[in-house]
Every structure is written in structure tokens, then in C-alpha cells.
């Protein structure tokens, strides 16, 4: 029970990787608070595992401050922040609108920054830690995804800065960079690939985008959750400022079909 007597706040905790992390932390004895803009998916996960729901936009400083304070009041403190909210920013630069770019900034980078800023006073007190969900898009660029790629690079820079600035105060910060993950968000992108390449179904699309991945498959949300929960646990007590990829070895080869998902 490695998270016994620990409380974790997870942004974007209602679906995909965030939900998988929430399940894993609960299985390992921790308390979980799910934060997101849409209460319905949060409620579904919370009812399943027994978690606290706080509906808030993680990119909104006022809303996130109130959310963190509510979590601390309900659970008596905060030990772990999983900055998982993200998405948007895909498409050719030449046709990307200001609105799409701004959404990429808000949903990927601002959510991580604001949730970290508002959580840090409590994490310093608890000697807690932060795990930022970036992407292998934060390490190199895939095609037609300038907004997403740029913001995920920014998430890694943010995590490195937090590790540098707050390690002396007892707060560790690490980054997890998934490749393709079989989530609802990725399924939507697979539908686009099915249409573009005239494939039969999304399973064929996943095989196409991972054909050059050494392990030959996409990750599951649970694969990513395992890595996140390791970094968030006491087992990683000497790991600070690390970047852990969960991509089946994709970063070791040139991937012409590479694209990105949460």
C-alpha cells in the first residue's frame, strides 16, 4: 500500500491516463481528488473507485486555488499532484487559427503551470511531489502538430524548472512522456487516420502508427499509470527532474507515421 495516508490531486482525471492513474493510486491505498471541467466523466470514475470530485478549470488560477484548498480541507493535506490535463494544437501551422493555438497553450501548458503553482505551498509542507504528463511530442516533433509539440516541450521545461527550484524544499518533480496510448482521445485521431489511409478500422490505424515502434504496439493507459505511480511513490525518492518515456522504444528510431495522444 505505497500510497497509504497520501492524497493525490489529478487534473484531467475523468478519462484515459488520468483515470487509470486514479485507479492505481486507490488500489495502492491512497486518497484521490479528481479535478476537471466536465463533472460527468469525473463522477463516473469517482463512483467506481471512491474519489473526491472538484469541478474546476485547471488553467484558471482562481478556480484552481479554490479547488486545491477544498481538497486540502477535505483530506487534511496534499501529497501528490498529477498534472495530466492536456490536448489540442494539432494541424498544419499555415492553417492553425489563433484560437487553436491559444487552446493548445491553455489546455497543455497553462493547466500544468497553474495547478503546480497552486499546489506547491501544500506540497512543500507535505514534502510531496509532482508528476507532469507531457508526451514524446515534447522531445521531438511529429508532423502537423506545432501547437501540441510546442506546449509539450514547454511542459518538460516547466517540470525541469520546478525540479530545480523546489527540490531543496523537498518537492520532487518528474515528467512522463507517453507515445501512442489507446485512449478515447487517441481513438478520435485513429478515425482520422482510418479515413486518410482508407483503412478498415482503428485497430489497423494503431498498427500503422506503431509499425516502427520496437515493441510493436501502443501503450495502454495502465502502462502509463504504472510509470506515473512509480515516480509519485516513495520508491522514487531520489528521482527528481527525470523524463521517463512510455513509448515502446519509439524514441530510438525514426518514426515517419508518428503522431501524439494523451
Active site residues: 148
CB 236 within 8 A of CB 161: no
Query: Could you count the other beta carbons within 10 Å of the beta carbon of residue 189?
Result: 19
The residue written with cell numbers 479535478 in the block is 35
CB 262 within 8 A of CB 194: no
Residue 164 in 3-state DSSP?
A: helix
Helices 111-126, 146-166: axis angle to 10 degrees equals: 20
Query: Could you count the other beta carbons within 10 Å of the beta carbon of residue 95?
Result: 8
C-alpha of 100 from chain center? 20
d(CA 131, CA 192) in angstroms, rounded, equals 30
Amino acid at each position: 500500500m505505497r500510497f497509504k495516508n497520501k492524497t493525490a490531486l489529478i487534473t484531467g482525471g475523468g478519462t484515459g491516463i488520468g483515470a487509470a492513474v486514479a485507479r492505481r493510486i486507490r488500489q495502492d491505498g491512497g486518497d484521490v481528488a479528481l479535478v476537471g471541467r466536465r463533472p460527468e466523466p469525473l463522477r463516473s470514475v469517482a463512483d467506481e473507485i471512491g474519489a473526491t470530485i472538484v469541478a474546476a478549470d485547471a488553467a484558471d488560477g482562481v478556480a484552481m486555488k479554490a479547488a486545491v484548498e477544498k481538497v486540502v480541507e477535505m483530506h487534511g493535506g496534499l501529497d501528490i499532484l498529477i498534472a495530466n490535463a492536456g490536448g489540442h494544437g494539432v494541424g498544419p501551422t499555415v492553417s492553425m487559427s489563433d484560437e487553436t493555438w491559444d487552446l493548445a497553450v491553455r489546455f497543455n501548458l497553462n493547466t500544468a503551470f497553474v495547478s503546480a503553482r497552486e499546489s506547491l505551498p501544500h506540497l512543500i509542507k507535505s514534502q510531496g511531489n509532482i508528476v507532469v504528463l507531457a508526451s514524446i511530442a515534447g522531445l521531438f516533433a511529429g508532423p502537423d502538430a506545432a501547437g501540441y509539440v510546442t506546449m509539450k516541450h514547454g511542459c518538460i521545461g516547466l517540470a525541469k524548472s520546478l525540479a530545480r527550484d523546489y527540490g531543496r524544499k523537498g518537492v520532487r518533480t518528474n515528467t512522463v512522456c507517453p507515445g501512442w496510448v489507446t485512449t478515447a482521445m487517441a481513438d478520435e485521431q485513429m478515425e482520422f487516420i482510418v479515413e486518410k489511409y482508407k483503412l478498415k478500422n482503428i485497430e489497423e490505424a494503431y498498427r500503422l502508427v506503431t509499425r516502427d515502434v520496437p515493441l510493436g504496439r501502443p501503450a495502454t493507459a495502465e502502462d502509463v499509470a504504472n510509470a506515473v505511480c512509480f515516480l509519485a511513490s516513495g520508491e522514487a525518492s531520489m528521482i527528481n527532474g527525470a523524463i521517463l518515456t512510455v513509448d515502446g522504444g519509439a524514441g530510438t528510431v525514426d518514426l515517419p507515421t508518428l503522431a501524439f495522444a494523451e
